[in-house]
Structure 1
């Protein structure tokens, strides 16, 4: 028996869903739009292709694919994020379909899509092997799987280690940051995917100050919003101080603002 055999993934996903539906994640997610644009270009998305954005949130990658005239679908289990994705698509006159669904049980037939994308989304599915198997299943042979995932040593990796000191993850659940490593992708996808490009990239986190960074994530990043609300006043103050410290080792600004690169892995593969 492996450690994952004892994990109640369904209960964990329900807690995660409640977390993502707390706060106002699109306020954070919208700042990451450039990552989705880059991923769609790197994946070679073209007009007329069937494209799926898994754990789409408010639809960054789905919208990027639709701008290239692909037939884009976004799937997520957080209904408020899907609603905001639909609002964005309507505002931009983009024909994107948003579907409620679980990344570990995608509601689509086998081999439905030419390209399956995820921008720092599917990496947070707790049953990583099952999520990877679903990405493979819904991608047609010869189609592409394209992922943008934070790396373990990134700014976001540091932030999640900070969060874990206040809310440790359940035993047996692997760090989502492992999706940002070549080794873990090889374990998850095996011979089913040939990775044709594994490119280290950076996203610049830009905030007024380290304190603004901490405030923004506590107010808007659902899992942190929910955690912060659960703490007593003194512990919440310590969390705030710890989050304020997160961007500082990465910060390249010398004027009191934050310009801190966040490392991620852009992975493009062909489904065998």
Structure 2
């Protein structure tokens, strides 16, 4: 299955909104005023739209899935911001070299078929002195735990490179600066969260289909994992979600304000 078909499975917009906060936080933390930004594997455009709102001179959102870009365009229109949307794989972006001061990707390029090539493309797009910043799920965060829960059911699946600092350094180089970040995801309940994944998340939809009769057992373990990671508070289920942020390049991210 090619990447466009894969990510068109289900409705990423529904589940992606549950973990959209890191994309907004990424844009807020960077000095973007008057700068040119390219957001790779932009999905529904969360980071790209936030970057435009932060005063970027220009923003280009790139994604391989047309349906996601159509949703991103609708969201940009509602937000009253202008973003250029480009349909392309992150391995071959039809933009000129050195066109961006900042290249971002929120839980995007880390899932490329060839991550080293995707990072090489990001470097090609960045100007000298520019910055590349991307996020990935961590081994100890909720989505790392979800993967580990399901791993015994998929013994042939490779270990992700992007869940630890050592793995990131092995692919991105020793100069990559990796920090641990987190946000709080709010869902109705662990059961409801897993149901949303079953209905709308491409990896879970396709994984469940491949497991067939074994899926109910995997699903039960998944619900337990989510339940143990969070707690009920004020009628909602809140889960702290850890992730990693990696920075390549010279510019220093603006310190977050308390």
Same fold, judged at TM 0.5 (above):
yes
Shift of 1:256: 7.8
Name the SS for the 2:10 alignment partner: coil
**2:83 maps to what in 1?**
96
Q: How does 1:137-216 map to 2 (within 5 A)?
A: 137-168=124-155, 173-175=158-160, 178-190=161-173, 195=177, 198-216=178-196
Change (3 A) 1:35 1:169: farther
Shift of 1:49: 1.4
Q: Does 1:247 align with 2:226?
A: yes
Q: In structure 2, what is the Cα distance between the partners aligned to 1:160 and 1:37?
A: 24
Deviations along 1:34-60, one digit per CA (max 9) or x if unpaired, are 2112111222221x3110111111111
Q: How does 1:1-272 map to 2 (within 5 A)?
A: 14=2, 16-46=3-33, 48-70=34-56, 71-168=58-155, 173-175=158-160, 178-190=161-173, 195=177, 198-232=178-212, 234-253=213-232, 257-270=236-249
Q: In structure 1, what is the Cα distance between the partners aligned to 2:113 and 2:155?
A: 14
Change (3 A) 1:165 1:18: farther
In structure 1, list runs of 5 or more residues that go unmatched. Answer: 1-10
In structure 2, list runs of 5 or more residues that go unmatched. Answer: 252-258
**2:254 maps to what in 1?**
none
Q: In structure 2, what is the Cα distance between the partners aligned to 1:250 and 1:42?
A: 27
**1:7 maps to what in 2?**
none
Name the SS for the 2:133 alignment partner: strand
Shift of 1:194: 5.9
Q: TM-score, normalised by structure 2?
A: 0.87
Shift of 1:174: 4.8
RMSD in angstroms over aligned alpha carbons?
2.3
Deviations along 1:40-95, one digit per CA (max 9) or x if unpaired, are 1222221x311011111111110110112311111111111111101111121210
Q: In structure 1, what is the Cα distance between the partners aligned to 2:112 and 2:25?
A: 22
Change (3 A) 1:235 1:219: same
Q: In structure 2, what is the Cα distance between the partners aligned to 1:100 and 1:145?
A: 20
For the Cα contact (< 8 Å) 1:145–1:271, is it kept in 2? no
For the Cα contact (< 8 Å) 1:43–1:144, is it kept in 2? no
Shift of 1:152: 1.5
For the Cα contact (< 8 Å) 1:209–1:256, is it kept in 2? no
Q: In structure 2, what is the Cα distance between the partners aligned to 1:226 and 1:51?
A: 33
**2:256 maps to what in 1?**
none
